[in-house]
Amino acid sequence: MIVSTTEFLRRNNGHALLPETRPYRFNRPPADPAPDPGSRIFRTGFAGDAEGAARLAAQQSRPQDGTAPAHVLAEAYWTGVSGQPARAAARLEQALDELRAARPGAPDDAAALELRNDLAHWQGESGDTGGARELFEQLLADAAVVLGRRDPRTLLIRGNAAHWRGRDGEVRRAADDFRRLHADCRRALGTGHRDTLLAHNNLAFWTGESGDGRGALELFEELLPQVLDALGADDFYTLAARNNVAYWRGFNGDATGALAQYAPLLRDCERTLGDRDYHTLSTRLQYGLWSGVAGDPATAVAALSALLPDVEAVLGPDHDLAHAARHQLARWHGADGNPRAAVAILERLVADQRRVLGADDYRTLATQGLLTRYSSA
């Protein structure tokens, strides 16, 4: 099966600046896995050393007050971010067993629910989407009893359950779930609350994933001024909302409009996040991609040629973002009248993707399709 460029773009919008802001963190927002931004763990992880952050978290003392073991949550988070989601899930399962052993026969409390939340997330990230979905659905039923249906933590778990339903293939149900969750968050938390904005964002994302690109754009355009008012221009989620408007504008046929929004967004990402941040790098990929779609393949080639060594230096040559940059670089070399350069890139890329992802992965198939196209040019 050959995957079209449009399908490749739709399925790879995760290379943008988090089109769906995944709400898996339980008490803290996803961008803040360490409770204190000034902590050494936080600084180490966000400086690019996820494994080092995990080691530092493992050295922290255990709490004695019955609260969730924050050091375990941080250790698991950075272990998962470092590319070891199964190990992160195993660490959380061990901590959950220890917590339950200290309270034999007692029902799970809020601390246990938090561990179960993160355990379900990393189980899903390790490839078991169905298992993650089941764990979140069980967790949601328990949280409604322990915390109450309108508790903000229960609402976050509802978002997580909806997310993994979507990841497990029930895309339309995920959109419907987020539509109801968004309405409930507005009533319980207010329109400007971060979690309400998160639900709005994820409603828009899954609306797009369900095939309604125009509806996704309208929802993201509605969200952006609310995020600006609530969080400010430099907040991470404001940058994400700007990205999402630009992405879906381009997806709906306005490549020039998308490019006009990506140029200032990239400057702001570099200023606020730094030039080595994953999201800055992914925004550079989007800038190159939409330059080509807008009719300027030479600029796309230049932008992506500059991006590729930076991505490989920061994330490694086998990272998904590095593969996407190589794919797009080859694509625009071909569109710029240089099929030989495109084929040279694609031959190596398809071999790497077969090794890393497997021959039947949609990204491998997309690269193989592009290679077939330019090999016959």
pTM listed for this prediction: 0.81
Residue with tokens 């996407």, as numbered in its chain? 324
Amino acid symbol at 320: D
Sign of the alpha-carbon torsion through 19, 368, 360, 322: negative
Tell me whether residue 356 is in a domain: yes
Residues near 344 by beta carbon (within 8 Å), at least 6 away in sequence = none
- Report helix, strand or coil for 255: helix
Chain segment 115-167, per-residue pLDDT in tens: 999 999 999 999 999 999 999 999 999 999 999 999 999 999 999 999 999 99
Angular region, 211: left φ>0, alpha ψ -120 to 50, beta rest: left
Tell me whether residue 187 is in a domain: no
Tell me whether residue 86 is in a domain: no
Number of domains in the chain: 1
Burial call 47-57: b when 16+ CB within 10 Å, e when fewer:
eeebebbbebb
Tell me whether residue 120 is in a domain: no
Residue 324 confidence (pLDDT): 94
Tell me whether residue 73 is in a domain: no
How many Å apart are CA 304 and CA 335, to the nearest integer? Answer: 14
Range(s) of the domain holding residue 333:
253-377
Amino acid symbol at 149: R
Tell me whether residue 151 is in a domain: no
Which token pair is 147?
A: 């915390």
Tell me whether residue 319 is in a domain: yes
Q: What one-character-per-residue DSSP string does 61-104 give?
A: PPPSSSS--HHHHHHHHHHHHTT-HHHHHHHHHHHHHHHHHTST
CATH, residue 261? 1.25.40.10
Contact of 300 with 342, CB cutoff 8 Å? no
Contact of 91 with 123, CB cutoff 8 Å? no
How many Å apart are CA 129 and CA 131, to the nearest integer? Answer: 5
Chain segment 202-227, per-residue pLDDT in tens: 999 999 999 999 999 999 999 999 99
pLDDT at 102 > cutoff 80: yes
Tell me whether residue 139 is in a domain: no
Which token pair is 108?
A: 């799970």
Vertex 127 angle, CA 124 and 128, to 5°:
60
